[in-house]
Amino acid sequence: MPDQQQLTDKQRLTLGFIQRYIAAHTVPPKLQEIAEGIGISSRGVAHRYVQALVDAGFIKTDSGKHRGIRLLNVNTHNNESILPLLGKIAAGKPIEAIPGEDQIDLRDFFGDNNFAVRVQGDSMIEAGIMDGDTAIIRFCETANDGDIVVALIDETETTLKKFKRSHRGRYIKLIPANKDMEEMVYEASRVRIQGILIGQIRKY
Amino acid sequence: MPDQQQLTDKQRLTLGFIQRYIAAHTVPPKLQEIAEGIGISSRGVAHRYVQALVDAGFIKTDSGKHRGIRLLNVNTHNNESILPLLGKIAAGKPIEAIPGEDQIDLRDFFGDNNFAVRVQGDSMIEAGIMDGDTAIIRFCETANDGDIVVALIDETETTLKKFKRSHRGRYIKLIPANKDMEEMVYEASRVRIQGILIGQIRKY
DNA sequence: TAAGGCGAGAACATTTTGAGAACAACATGC
DNA sequence: GCATGTTGTTCTCAAAATGTTCTCGCCTTA
């Protein structure tokens, strides 16, 4: 896997310019535009940087073709927990900027009181929580009606369900999000909350 | 494992600066920047500290290269993109440990080639992607059948759908995951891939 | 005093960057 | 098809930036 750290400053700048250019124009830039974009005047130098990025595996070129740069599906990463949030996507116009929101901060997920569990089964599928997803849980022993919680039943059985009190708190309902499954009712003393769902993650 | 206690004050300061610099910039600092960062003005002195850290086993250098400093297996937990993965959750026994897997690493999500978009609408609901979720997208112009992609149609309309070629690549199908919606077929030239879905995040 | 950590800066080697000429390949209009 | 301008490619030369090595001097402390 290519490593951005191996690039020189100008090579990194060039790669960033190409990505931004494509995101903005939907077509790749020509060498002249790259040169201007990174603050130089020589097409030859721009070509040298492009070639370095090809060698490093970040892009490929349709040799000779005008605007023949393609981004490859490479995966570079760093240690930050903040992602640029480009906008909304839907059936609609090109990605629409969201006013006042330009990044998503996941630091909430990484607190000391949090942990992750792998979800198994389809009991919450109508809440968009699927088999194999990762649920982010905050350690917590109390919950409000409507929270999705990790509940331990009779000290033996753990499950992820929507939480609801009934009979003034004497009973607790654990409600799946799957019409094929039924909600379960327990005496409050049999149920212990282990944590509340605060997030959900899926990797493809 | 090298022992920080053996370092002099300035060497420890230098190491800390390098770690913070890389965390903040994703690339290593140059000697000039290290010098300024630790409050001196001489590249030569900065180099002396760097060399001491190499000898002590904390870092290594690509000799001669600009920004050629690499951190070695720095024990630390300053990787804030990793969560402990406690186990599977299901209707079953108390949270079950997963053999061979004890944390989930989200660094994949934070590359410079990635961005996030807010999902609007229910067209992918059966894939567990709901209105309001955040989709993590990697810039990329090519996709394989089955990938979920951000596609720009006729240069005007952007959408998140499953990608599939047909008629030997002359046509492209964009398939929603919602039984109330129908798949769409376009000539390949009308569809431009803007990125591939690599992850999905939801906050409660 | 002797030894070691620290800082400045000169001198040199190497890498990185920039300009531009010359040519080849491509795209477009006729 | 051909002519023409544009764009990509290759090359040389040079300058700037960076890494490396070195000497000198200051200070603290055993």
DSSP string covering A29-83, please?
A: PPHHHHHHHTT---HHHHHHHHHHHHHHTSEEE-TT-TT-EEE-------S--EE
pLDDT string in tens for chain A (204-residue length):
556 667 899 999 999 888 878 766 778 899 999 999 999 999 999 999 999 999 988 888 988 888 889 877 655 544 445 454 444 444 434 444 444 445 566 666 665 556 777 787 788 888 888 887 888 777 767 888 988 988 888 777 778 889 999 888 889 999 988 888 888 899 988 888 877 888 888 878
Domain tally, chain A: 3
Residue A9 sits in the same domain as residue A63: yes
Q: What is the dihedral of CA A120, B106, B60, A1, to 10 degrees?
A: 90
| The predicted structure's pLDDT at residue B110 | 63
For residues B87 and B124, membership in a common domain is answered with: no
Smallest CA–CA distance, residue A169 to chain B, in Å, is 23
**Same-domain pairing of A152 and A173:** yes
pLDDT at B78: 40
- B88 or B193: which leads in pLDDT: B193
Domain C-terminal end among B106, B124, B156: B106
Taking all residues of chain B, what is their mean pLDDT, rounded to a whole number?
Answer: 77
**Same structural domain for residues B174 and B122?**
yes
Residue pair A120/B90 in contact (Cβ under 8 Å)? The answer is yes
Note the pLDDT of residue B64: 87
B177/B100 same-domain check: no
pTM over 0.85: no
Strands B114-119 and A82-89: parallel
Looking at the structure, tell me whether residues B102 and B115 fall in a common domain: no
- Judge if A90 and A168 occupy the same domain: no
Range with the poorest average pLDDT among A143-152, A192-201, B8-17, B109-118:
B109-118
Q: Looking at the structure, tell me whether residues A101 and A115 fall in a common domain.
A: no
A117 shares a domain with A84: no
Q: Which of A173-177, B92-96, B128-132 has the lowest mean pLDDT?
A: B92-96
User: pLDDT tens digits, residue range B19-73?
Assistant: 878 766 778 999 999 999 999 999 999 999 999 999 988 889 988 899 999 887 5
Measured on CA atoms in the order B114, B119, B124, B126, is the torsion positive or negative? Answer: positive
Task: Give the pLDDT band (50/70/90) at residue B85.
Answer: very low
Q: Are residues B97 and B34 in the same domain?
A: no
Q: What is the mean pLDDT of residues B111-135?
A: 78
**Mean pLDDT, residues B163-169 taken together:** 85
Residue of chain A with shortest Cα separation from B93: A157
SS3 A115: strand
Q: Which of B84, B93, B104 lies at the smallest CB-CB distance from A157?
A: B93
B197 and B148 share a domain?
yes
Chosen for mutation from B158, B160, B174, B196 (greatest number of chain A CBs closer than 10 Å) is B158
Closest to A159 (Cβ–Cβ): which among B84, B87, B91?
B91
Domain containing residue A90 = 80-106
**Has A30 been annotated as catalytic?**
no
Q: B121 and B189: one domain?
A: yes
Residue B90 has pLDDT above 50, yes or no: no
Domain containing residue B117: CATH number: 2.10.109.10
CATH number for the domain that contains residue B39: 1.10.10.10
Residue A93 tokens read as 């116009």
